[in-house]
Amino acid sequence: MANSQTTPGIVPGRLPADDIARNFTDLHAPLAPHEAAVAADRCYFCHDAPCMTACPTSIDIPLFIRQIGTGTPEAAAKTIFNQNILGGMCARVCPTETLCEEVCVRETAEGAPVEIGRLQRFATDRLMAKGVHPFERAAATGKRVAVVGAGPAGLSCAHRLAMLGHDVTIYEARAKAGGLNEYGIAAYKTPDGFAQAEVDWLMQIGGIEIVEGKRLGESLSLAGLQDDFDAVFLSIGLGGVNALRASGEDKANVTDAVGFIADLRQSSDLGALPVGRDVVVIGGGMTAVDAAIQSRKLGAENVTIVYRRGQEAMGASRYEQDLAAQNGVRLMFNLRPVAVHGNGAAAEIELEYTTVQDGTVTGTGETLRLRADQVFKAIGQTLTDAPEGLDLSGGKIAVTEAGRTSVAGVWAGGDCASGGDDLTVTAVAEGRDAAMDMHAVLVG
């Protein structure tokens, strides 16, 4: 068995720079115009399109595909942006295989859906490349709204409010706007600085100011924002990371996957990022898959995802699981960590086999050990920055369907709010819908 004397530890530059650069190119090449025309021609343009129902932002998918098919991709893009102002990013990262494409009639009949996600990217990229914003601000209302958090929900809310004539100030804790899109999504899904380019494009609507380096609970208070603004929207995300609850998790090289992905996304030299030879990722969601695949792309020799339940219960879609396997990641199920071993730094991880009885995970007592000089925790996040006075039922900010919190004049959306999936597209919908409800209150 490995120990601290024989485990090499984590180092940068496990692969040549050219190999790393090639590994982090675009996951899916954009469609060429003729490819988009062929893909659009497969759509049946269903009158009761199930794909629209499955889309959290309710984009008129048959309409925008028809517009692509008739040679007007810019019109298609505006159809998309009417419902989802971050349609460019969602086209890249949305799990279409479990949403719109899963219910596509072509998928049901043939096992090959219309490529809705790639068609959406084709249209939105064409319009954004022109550098012209497709919307104009309404007449000024004189109302001022504070948005806390510049992630997908906050940006979506701010854009819709600005378009309706309100003045919006976004307060962002980090150095860049974008939230999950900038810091939390695999680099090979959003190369070439697309997240920031999308923020810059969105800001062309006018009426929005972004103030960075401001965190709720430190330099901002909810009471102060209520005094200074006519309404407040909270989109503060989830700042905490759940613990493994395994002995030895405080050893060196046991870190959270969220931080690893954020460091990778902000790195100007991926070859300078250290990675282990034997990487183990604990978790079953998208963060776990993104951390595992990117470890392999940086040069890790052995990468394993360990999940405490069966494969069918994983939060990551089967497509993402297959993508991990295709990149050389091993997936192990019905195992949970019980200890991290090593003399100061991780060298091995001890895992216990599990069974699931009546929905509860139970250990069997049988264990195994894996080499692990780097362990990533990807077992969910917790809310850390919610102000006092809000209903925090279920560990998140309790909201109505329109995003209203228990405090008058305060709305919330995105990962920090109750209800919905923790997806970019869901956050966009929640921000948009909250903005419409805020508008009705502000001008009513």
What is the mean pLDDT of the segment spanning 213-222? 94
CA atoms of 437 and 250, how far apart (whole Å): 45
> Which residues fall within 8 angstroms of residue 327, CB to CB, at 6 or more apart?
292, 293, 296, 297
Instruction: State the pLDDT at residue 2.
Output: 38
- Residue 38 contacts by C-beta under 8 Å, 6 or more apart in sequence? none
Neighbours of 315 (CB within 10 A): 18
* Rounded distance between C-alpha atoms, residue 9 and residue 42, angstroms: 51
> 307: pLDDT confidence band, cut at 50, 70 and 90?
very high
Helical packing angle, 318-326 and 286-298, nearest 10° = 10
* Distance, CA of 175 to CA of 414 (rounded, Å): 20
Cβ-based neighbours of 106, under 8 Å, separated by 6 or more: 42, 43, 44, 112, 113, 114
**Reduced to 3 states, what is the DSSP secondary structure of residue 179?**
coil
* Residue 180 host element (H or E): helix 180-183
Distance CA 256, CA 250 (A): 11
Q: How confident is the model at residue 239 (pLDDT cuts 50, 70, 90)?
A: confident
Tokens standing for 313? 């219960």
Sheet of 410-412, strands arranged across = 208-212, 167-172, 144-148, 231-234, 410-412
Q: Do domains 17-23+242-377 and 144-239+383-443 have the same CATH topology?
A: yes
Residue 318 has what pLDDT? 94
Task: Report the distance separating Cα 60 and Cα 54, nearest Å.
Answer: 11
Residues ≥6 apart with Cβ < 8 Å to 1: 348, 369
Token pair listed for 149:
């958090």
For residues 277 and 398, what is the distance between their CA atoms, to the nearest angstrom? 43
Q: What is the DSSP letter of 100?
A: T
Give the separation between CA 45 and CA 97, rounded to whole angstroms: 19
pLDDT score of 386: 87
The set of residues, in sequence order, having a beta carbon less than 8 Å from that of 358 and lying 6+ positions away, is none
The residue ranking higher by pLDDT, 3 or 296, is 296
Fold (CATH) for 144-239+383-443: FAD/NAD(P)-binding domain (3.50.50)
**pLDDT at position 1 over 80:** no
Dump pLDDT digits (tens) for 187-197. 999 999 999 99
Looking at residue 6, its pLDDT comes to 40
Q: Which CATH architecture has domain 42-129?
A: Orthogonal Bundle (1.10)
Quick one: angle between helices 286-298 and 257-266, nearest 10? 50
- Per-residue pLDDT reduced to its tens digit, 367-414: 999 999 999 999 999 998 888 899 998 899 999 989 999 999 999 999
Which residue in the block uniquely carries the two structure tokens 């039922």? 393
Q: What is the CA radius of gyration of the chain?
A: 23
Q: Is the pLDDT of residue 17 over 80?
A: yes
Angstrom CA distances, 77 to 14, 53, 63, 99, 304, stand at 41, 19, 10, 19, 39
Element (H, E) at 298: helix 286-298
Q: Where are the domains of the chain?
A: 17-23+242-377, 42-129, 144-239+383-443
Give per-residue pLDDT as tens, 59-95.
999 999 999 999 999 999 999 999 999 999 999 999 9
d(CA 428, CA 435): 11
Cα–Cα distance, 212 to 147 (Å, whole number): 12
Task: Answer whether residue 3 shows pLDDT above 70.
Answer: no
The CATH fold of domain 17-23+242-377: FAD/NAD(P)-binding domain (3.50.50)
220 CB neighbour count, 10 Å cutoff: 18
The CA distance from 26 to 38, in Å, is 22
* CA–CA separation, 49 and 404 (whole Å): 30
Q: How confident is the model at residue 8 (pLDDT cuts 50, 70, 90)?
A: low
Question: What are the start-end ranges of the H helices in 14-140?
Answer: 17-23, 33-40, 50-54, 61-69, 73-83, 87-93, 105-110, 116-129
* Residue 151 binned pLDDT confidence (cut-offs 50, 70, 90): very high
- Whether residue 64 contacts residue 45, with contact meaning beta carbons closer than 8 Å, is answered with no
Q: pLDDT band at 234, cuts 50/70/90? A: very high
Q: Round to whole Å and give the CA distance between 176 and 266.
A: 10
Q: Is the pLDDT of residue 4 over 60?
A: no
Rounded Cα gap, residues 50 and 208, in angstroms: 35
Which of 404, 402, 406, 410 has the alpha carbon at shortest distance from 429? 402
- Closest Cα to residue 304, out of 316, 315, 317, 293? 293
The angle at the Cα of 265, spanning 264 to 271, to the nearest 5 degrees, equals 40
User: In whole numbers, what is the pLDDT of the chain averaged over residues?
Assistant: 95
Percent of the chain with pLDDT over 90: 93
Q: 317-353 pLDDT, tens per residue?
A: 999 999 999 999 999 999 999 999 999 999 999 999 9
